[in-house]
Chain A
Amino acid sequence: MHAKEFKIRWGMVIDVDKCTGCGACMVACQVENNIAPVTPEVDAWAGVAYDASNKLRTLNWLTVYEINNKKAFPEYEVAYMPRPCMQCASPACVPVCPVVATDKNEEGGIVSQIYPRCIGCRYCMAACPYHARYFNWFDPTWPAGMAKALSPSTSTRPRGVVEKCNFCHTRFQQAKDKARQEGGDPNSLADGAYNTACAEVCPSGAILFGDLNNPAHKVHALAHSKHSFRLLERLGLGPQVYYYSKREWVHRLGDNYLPNEKKA
């Protein structure tokens, strides 16, 4: 499929060698995007208790995976990989959507998700190789009183629709509005003028966000580094999220390499 070209491509470079896996980004993401914590509930018939401690009903746009080099003590190494939506150049999720609830046509290259249009068929979830999409099996419920003040950035979603990371899209709109108000060019935002909640909160500075096409943005050069790679790059979806690591084994885990296969 021919990838649509954009003058601006918002993207991330995540330094896997810096990430400590603390989880602050996951919390910030939930708060910013009004993702309700899973309300504990017991299914007496099935004998299962549902809550976030068994991950059966969790819904998180950003997940921090723990990976390791599969070696025994003491050669064992570990790394953490935050995984947002990859905002692919040729997203597998978009062409399969029967109602165009997800699309990639806005300048910036962010893959949209229009909740009211979604019919909940979940074809997009099946198509996404990154498991970045989540389905609302239930209506969101916050503990009593916690929903008194939700983030004004993201509308709440009902059961029956798919949702995913959108690079905190409201912040993009706000950054453009601010640029217009200040007489600047909304299509040429300065590095840092638009930032996602996860990148903003990260204590170790492992998540960097910016325009991959803009040489003035830090991510532009980093994405072209020999230490950068993308997840499942050989699928050809062209993710706009890059990972950065100087460790060979981390690179190899980024795609399905055979044991003796050389990395391209």
Chain B
Amino acid sequence: MGLDRRAFIKFIVGGAAGTLFTPIPWKLADDSSIWSQNWSWIPRLKSGAVTADATYSKLCSAGCAVKVKKVGGLAFGVKGNADNALSQGGVCPLCANGAQMLRSPARVAGPLKKDGSAFKAISWDEAEALLADKLKGLKGQSGKVAAISGDGSGTANEVLSGFLAGLGSSAYYYMPSDQTTMAKAWNGIMGGSGQIGYDLEGADLVLCIGADIMDAFGPTVRNQKAIAAKRPIEGDKTVTLLYAGPVRTRTAAVADTWVPVSPDGGAAFALGLANLLIKSGKGASLGGFGEFAELAAKFGPDAVEKAAGVKTEALMTVAKALLMAKNPVVVVGSGSGQGGGVALAAAGVALNALLGSLTVLPEFPKAVSHAPDRSGLLAKDVVAWLADVDAGKAPTPEVLFVYEANPAYALPQAAAMAKTLDKAGLLVSFSTYMDETAALADLILPAPHPFERLDDAQSPYGLGKATYLLATAVAAPEKDCKSTPDFILGLAGKLGVDLGFGAFEDVLKAKVQAIGADWDALAAGGAFVSDRKGSAQADLGASALAKAAAAPKAQGTLLAALDHLNIGTGALATPPHALLTVRDTELYGKDLFVQMCAATAKSLGVSEGAKVKLTAGGSEITARVALNEGVMTGVVAAPLGLGRTAWDPFTKGKGDNVSKILAVSAEPGTGYSVWAGSAVSVAKM
């Protein structure tokens, strides 16, 4: 039987039809579908039990109470801890990156020692021996060992400052912040004790003068929660939010009223309000009230308009609102969270005293008895000290410890400050990440990520009640890090400095016991909140305030530096996942953008997108212009946190560092270093 054409076609067609009745084509289609979905070249999800452990994340300046979500024991995300009174389930844009920053490409893998222009890895024992050897010869020499801390709330500061005291040095400084400015005002000039607090929860009117409470001032999540709770979406608002400052910040964006106030006019505006309150019969029981009233009387509406650019009607409206409110609270600070004058801080205290809203939180008892008092240390001026070191008026430290801070990047006139830091005999950075200060350091002794370590926070600045929080190690260590206070305790033991403890856990347990809190409850993510009030006895410090307030007004274009939490902090560069939250009007590609209104741009002869050079404080930065009518006329607003020179490819070389052009001056009357609202020269390139 031959195969003719007809038979062949029948065979092919029959075969094809028959095949459809077999599972073969369907199986092949299914397989190809499965194999085309088997994307082996992209990361796989890890399987395992999903758990969540509570801790306190200190990635942002004030910290957030979070729960670290884990899969198969590995941290992958965070969520808010709704049971914690501080954050109530909210998380800030930095702490939301907490798990990812455990594995940031910028993490320091282990102890490093500078070797020429590079670093070489050393062991922790070698690092300890090296430091012990260096410090042995410096014991008892004043100012030869110094430290700069960026952690405003941790008990680790007691260990470090106590260690320095044991070596005979008092050169312990905090990075500048609204907290340090207020400490200088309240604990220094005014002679008060404890810490100034702000009872936002009990307020029916919150007036923010400069302080961007939603973005840069204090515990922003708690601030947002406190305001939001009194402003339900539907129903009556029980709090009025007023913002006074040169830029329509994120606080101003949600405020009921924005009162534009020039960057250097906050103190005059506050004193103008105080004058109107006193005229309306308000008084304060603080010392020196008569002298203060005389000073305030000099700030009539005309004087305020001249100094702060605030029209009489606007000033009167705010004063009236303060007088009508039952529980008004005034929060003062600077839009950048640093560099504001002591005058503004003191005027803020005076305003709250006049309104009967002055809140003072008591200090928690110390665990390390040798340690100097926290309030005294906070009131010190690190910028003035470094200027003195540079000028040879203060001894150059042989060993300079930097803890949770990045002064080489974040201090005003950053380039000059970095040069001074570099003069230290041995610059020791305890940074978790390869930041600018770590890159400059002679020795990097990496601290664990906040999720990998035991830590605490006592009354983060801005709260209304004395609060204590504990952070526990909830994630396995990713790198060869060592808890800084534990390392210092070991070093202290070698050098014969008795701090009374051998391990940081014991320090914290003593602390928790001293304040009467429950360790287990704190470790489970709870907050210890005390209703105890501190003493509100102090002097209004009118004589110093008068000199400061009489300072000549800066001329020309003024700079309003802004701190945006999503861009990062001085100590933490923009996390990889947060980079896309940075707006095109702040950063585009490698270009930093500064904002100004059309009238300012016209007077400067620049237009949208123009490349400009900004010069101040002996340094310059380049940027492009973004027109923004939310910036006061005569003011240039610029975001801090960009222009990194270290860190990782996600942030390095993006934009320019605005800290470089924050021009420092000594405030008359207080001598304190200030830079908020300094003049800047803008030139078209």
Contacts and interface: CB of A to CB of B under 8 A. Distances in A.
B525 to A, nearest CB: 16
Given A37-B576, A143-B576, A148-B74, A22 B92 contact: yes
Give the residue among A20, A21, A203 with the most B Cβ atoms within 10 A.
Answer: A203
A264 to B, nearest CB: 22
Contact of A72 (B566, B629, B649): B629
Contact of A73 (B45, B78, B583, B630): B630
A23 interface: yes
B104 interface: yes
A143 B75 contact: no
Interface stretch (A1-9, A58-66, A102-110, A255-263): A58-66
Interface string B55-99: 000000000000001111011111110000001011111001101
Contact of B629 (A15, A21, A55, A68): A68
B509 interface: no
A18 B650 contact: no
Nearest to A39: B649
A23 B92 CA distance: 8
Given A23-B581, A27-B93, A76-B629, A158 B42 contact: yes
Contacts of B628: 76
Contacts of B97: 27, 31
Contact of B70 (A35, A53, A149, A158): A149
B80 A37 contact: no
A60 B582 CA distance: 13
A31 B254 contact: no
Contacts of A26: 93, 580-581
A28 B91 contact: yes
B228 A116 contact: no
Given A23-B581, A52-B579, A203-B224, A156 B45 contact: yes
Interface in A107-146: 116, 139-140, 142-146
B94 to A, nearest CB: 8
Given A139-B42, A149-B99, A20 B253 contact: yes
Interface in B628-648: 628-633, 648
A202 B399 CA distance: 43
B44 A156 contact: yes
A203 B90 contact: yes
Interface string A181-212: 00000000000000001001111111010000
Given A31-B96, A74-B260, A148-B46, A49 B589 contact: yes
A84 to B, nearest CB: 15
Main secondary structure of the interface of A (DSSP, over half): loop
- Give the size category of B's interface with A: 35 or more
A79 B70 CA distance: 35
A23 B566 contact: yes
Interface string A33-49: 01101111000000001
A37 to B, nearest CB: 4
B130 to A, nearest CB: 29
A20 B581 contact: no
Interface string B218-257: 0011001101110101100000000000001011011000
Interface of A: 13, 15, 17-24, 26-28, 30-32, 34-35, 37-40, 49, 51-55, 58, 60, 64, 66, 68, 71-74, 76-80, 116, 139-140, 142-152, 155-158, 197, 200-206, 208, 221-222, 225, 244
Given A52-B576, A150-B43, A205-B224, 19 more contacts: A18-B231, A24-B566, A26-B581, A27-B577, A53-B654, A55-B580, A68-B629, A76-B628, A76-B630, A79-B253, A116-B33, A146-B105, A150-B45, A152-B47, A152-B48, A152-B71, A200-B89, A202-B90, A205-B228
14 contacts: A13-B233, A17-B254, A18-B231, A23-B566, A27-B577, A52-B579, A53-B579, A58-B580, A64-B581, A149-B70, A152-B71, A201-B80, A201-B90, A205-B229
Interface of B: 33, 36-37, 39, 41-48, 50, 69-72, 74-80, 87, 89-93, 96-97, 99-100, 103-105, 214-215, 220-221, 224-225, 227-229, 231, 233-234, 248, 250-251, 253-254, 258, 260, 478, 565-566, 575-585, 587-590, 597-599, 628-633, 648-650, 654
